[in-house]
Amino acid sequence: MIFKKKYTQDRQEPKREWKEKNKRYLYQLQKFLDAADSIEKDDLRRNVIAQMLKCDLILTELAEKEIRKYTKENE
């Protein structure tokens, strides 16, 4: 992703399988993208989608960090 280095602190590649195989996540992501498709202005639509992806990437990074921390504590 273009904005990955700029918007994230953790340089370790997140393992997103836990999220990308989640049916609830995929359903809500699809609903968001469907709603974004109704935005007529191309630049606005791209900006809205990009901002959501930035937030999603940061949230994934935070979740992965917590998962690693929890796993380390319980070894």
Who's near 53: CB < 8 A, 6+ residues apart?
A: 1, 3
The whole-number pLDDT of residue 34 equals: 96
Structure tokens at 49: 């989608």
At 12-54, the pLDDT tens digits run 565 678 888 899 999 999 999 999 999 999 999 999 999 999 9
- The domain limits of the chain are 16-73
